[in-house]
Amino acid sequence: MWLFVLLFVSYLCRKLYIFYIIAAFFSSNICLQTSFSLSLQDSLIVGIKYRNQEMGKYCLPKSECGYTIGTICKMKKLQIRPYALESSLNGTSKSFKDELAVVSHFLMNKYLGLLVDYREEAELIMKELLSEKMVSQGMMGEPRMAETDMFSDFFNVPFLPNKDADFTFIDLFAGIGGFRLAMQAVGGKCIFSSEFNEPAQKTYFANYGDMPFGDITLEETKRYIPDHFDVLCAGFPCQAFSIIGKQQGFADTRGTMFFEIQKILQKHKPKAIFMENVKQLVTHDKGNTFKVILGILADLGYHVKWKVLNALDFGVPQKRERVIIVGFLDKSKIEKFSFDFDRKPYSLKDVLQNDEDVDPSLFVSDRILQKRKESTRAKKVFYPSIWHENKAGNISVLDYACALRTGASYNYLLVNGYRRPSSRELLRLQGFPEKFRIVVSHQEIRKQTGNSVAVPMMTEVAKRIKALL
């Protein structure tokens, strides 16, 4: 009789999902199997806490209907995230984004076998995320990040770092991780990332498994940078120096971001630096701006070489000229470093998709199509090609794309003269791998690729940096 009652109660508990909740708290090595709709706080932390070691990812899978953290978030059961309780560690409140940055960096560094100073804080946040008190109380909330696809399992990402990596680096002004792909490809492991733009954060998180910290100008953000790392990577904002912008340099707030790099170098003294910017930086203000930057690096003890490189020379069908700055504390190493690379062939055909696979909204109107045809009547037209319209309105027919630019006309680059490049084509033009996840709108991909770096070019430079560490 008692056995029957016990079995019946267990059955009811299972139906009510109490069984799984209890299991969550008393098992340390379980990949929970459930089909219930958890709140975002609950699902996130359960996924964090109960990582299936064999599968190498966080999950909430497998009963009749298995949910990852991503699919649970898509249910939109939680539209707002309460502010975290005031931290007893530093007396500040964090947004959910900031909490994700702390937790994801802690978990990723732990995965890499590295200890961080903010372990206690990360564990506190994880505990608070599960707090029934927080969930039950109607605290002031903030909107969740606009999209939810970013909430994939932290370790179920396309570009998980190699645990056996040879060196460490930090990724500042990270964008969508062009530097990271290059450095990971040659054996580096990223232990800190920072990016202010929210859609770019989302793309970064979906591909690498850690949410970048936000505003690097804040000391609150800088304190999460580990004391020791080998290379500082930074594609610091280029709009202040760009020919497309107003070229105000250090007079523009974005131009002062270099001084944040200065502060970090001054404190942490990594072995090497690896930076990128538009070629106009070299000549801005008759070269004075660049002299200031090189002078600061020299004062910090870095011996530097620089050169304007073109992505077109590295197998990428995009004319994208960027100044690359490499520096070492050890003078003998910079003396061995060389910017002389063999040119690699490129193929526009390998980048382009079939027209039938492209969103119809990317095809231009009949009016624009006719205008392009009239503009190229006296020119040699071939296919496949990119039709480029410059600021003066002149049209060039090329076997490569001119530089992807965030602020340029929507129609300044047209594939074969009749359609705009797709999101995947834009990523290919920057050398991003096919498995790179697209989790934002096409409009955002245009911005993100325009602000990014050509991965193959950066990878070749990264190889030579790594060889000298």
Residue-range domain boundaries for the chain: 24-143, 167-345+452-468, 355-449
Mean pLDDT of the chain: 78
* Segment 348-387, tens digit of pLDDT: 999 999 999 999 999 999 999 999 999 999 999 999 999 9
Number of H helices, E strands in the chain: 18, 15
CATH annotation of 167-345+452-468: 3.40.50.150
Cα angle 254, 405, 295; round to 5: 40
Asked whether 399 and 343 are in contact (CB, 8 A), the reply is no
Q: Residue 428's pLDDT is what?
A: 98
What does the chain come to in residues?
Answer: 469
Task: Compute the average pLDDT of residues 179-192.
Answer: 97
Task: Compute the average pLDDT of residues 326-343.
Answer: 98
Q: Residue 256's pLDDT is what?
A: 73
When mean pLDDT is compared over 1-10, 151-160, 206-215, 253-262, the highest value belongs to: 206-215
Residue 134's pLDDT band, with cuts at 50, 70 and 90, is very low
Rounded CA separation 386/365 (Å): 17
Cα angle 410, 345, 450; round to 5: 25
Q: Residue 250's pLDDT is what?
A: 47
Least confident of 125-134, 153-162, 244-253, 398-407: 244-253
* Segment 239-263, tens digit of pLDDT: 444 444 454 544 543 447 888 999 9
Beta strands 401-402; 321-328: pairing state: unpaired
Asked whether 207 and 150 are in contact (CB, 8 A), the reply is no
**Residue 9: left (phi > 0), alpha (psi -120 to 50), or beta?**
alpha
Task: Compute the average pLDDT of residues 97-102.
Answer: 83
Residue 1's pLDDT band, with cuts at 50, 70 and 90, is low
Q: Residue 356's pLDDT is what?
A: 96
Q: How many CB atoms lie within 10 A of CB 98?
A: 20
Q: What single letter denotes the amino acid at residue 17?
A: Y
DSSP state at residue 243? S
Q: Residue 232's pLDDT is what?
A: 98
Q: Is the pLDDT of residue 408 over 60?
A: yes
Q: Residue 321's pLDDT is what?
A: 97
Residue 92's pLDDT band, with cuts at 50, 70 and 90, is low
* Continuous H helices in 54-115: 69-74, 96-111
Q: Is the pLDDT of residue 72 over 50?
A: no
Least confident of 41-55, 196-210, 282-296, 399-413: 41-55
Query: Model's pTM, two decimal places?
Result: 0.79
Q: Which residue has the higher pLDDT, 120 or 304?
A: 304
Task: Compute the average pLDDT of residues 428-444.
Answer: 95
Q: Residue 162's pLDDT is what?
A: 86
Q: Residue 362's pLDDT is what?
A: 97
Tokens coding 293: 């930057």
> Which residues are catalytic, by number?
238
CA 358 to each of CA 140, 291, 419, 433: distance values in angstroms, whole numbers, following the listed order: 43, 46, 9, 18
* Segment 282-321, tens digit of pLDDT: 998 888 889 889 999 999 999 999 999 999 999 999 999 9
Q: Residue 289's pLDDT is what?
A: 85
CATH annotation of 355-449: 3.90.120
Q: Which residue has the higher pLDDT, 26 or 178?
A: 178
Q: What percent of the chain has pLDDT over 70?
A: 70
